[in-house]
């Protein structure tokens, strides 16, 4: 059984210390202007970016390592034009095997999961990537692809929250030095509207433990 624990997800929550606003929709963070996008953050949860196959499968000795693969070069595009925000992701998978004798095909499963607010799984899909080792070759590579959809209304901050985050604050204002994110209502709204699209190898519990402890 293959599993992915949502708690492994890399947190994409915004921790904003706002000093003011340059233009509508732009937030000034310690003098740096940042524009909040409704597109989800794309990332690989740390324990799932690599996979190790053993032969025999039950062994964890270094001498039993059969194939090692990793996900690299993650690229994404985001279309915000419609009712749903659609993010497409591509990535490379690079692998190395211990024994170069004979041609060999290795198929590895990977997941794509959309997370809301750091811990709520909105959707998940599992696909597979095929790696072909030529006879005499230790290395092989392939490409994978995934996508995720987010309802635009769910990723959009309410107007009153946007106004609170982006309004100009003059040095003499009573609340000029106050962080809007200290307000639980503002913080909760930003968290609800924050999404991630996470991709990684679909690992077993044993494979997750191996990655976490090696």
Model confidence at 31, in pLDDT bands (50, 70, 90)? very low
Model confidence at 171, in pLDDT bands (50, 70, 90)? low
**Tokens at residue 70, please?**
């990793």
Lowest-confidence pick of 73-82, 151-160, 190-199: 151-160
Crossing angle (nearest 10°) for helices 184-192 and 159-166:
110
User: 């690079």: which residue's tokens?
Assistant: 94
Question: Which of these, 184, 196, 203, 199, lies nearest to 72 by C-alpha position?
Answer: 199
Model confidence at 160, in pLDDT bands (50, 70, 90)? confident
């Amino acid at each position: 059984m293959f599993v992915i624990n949502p708690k492994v997800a890399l947190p994409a929550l915004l921790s904003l210390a706002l000093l003011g606003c340059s233009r509508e929709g732009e937030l000034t963070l310690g003098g740096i202007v940042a524009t909040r996008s409704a597109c989800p953050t794309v990332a690989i949860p740390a324990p799932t970016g690599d996979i190790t196959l053993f032969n025999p499968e039950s062994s964890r000795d270094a001498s039993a390592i059969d194939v090692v693969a990793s996900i690299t070069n993650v690229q994404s595009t985001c279309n915000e034009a419609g009712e749903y925000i659609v993010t497409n992701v591509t990535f490379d998978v690079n692998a190395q095997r211990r024994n170069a004798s004979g041609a060999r095909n290795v198929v590895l499963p990977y997941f794509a999961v959309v997370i809301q607010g750091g811990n709520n799984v909105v959707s998940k899909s599992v696909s597979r990537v095929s790696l072909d080792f030529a006879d005499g070759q230790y290395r092989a590579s392939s490409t994978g692809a995934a996508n995720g959809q987010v309802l635009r209304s769910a990723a959009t901050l309410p107007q009153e929250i946007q106004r609170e985050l982006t309004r100009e604050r003059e040095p003499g204002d009573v609340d000029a030095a106050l962080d809007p994110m200290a307000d639980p209502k503002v913080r909760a709204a930003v968290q609800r509207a924050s999404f991630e699209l996470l991709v990684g190898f679909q690992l077993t519990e044993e494979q997750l433990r191996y990655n976490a402890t090696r």
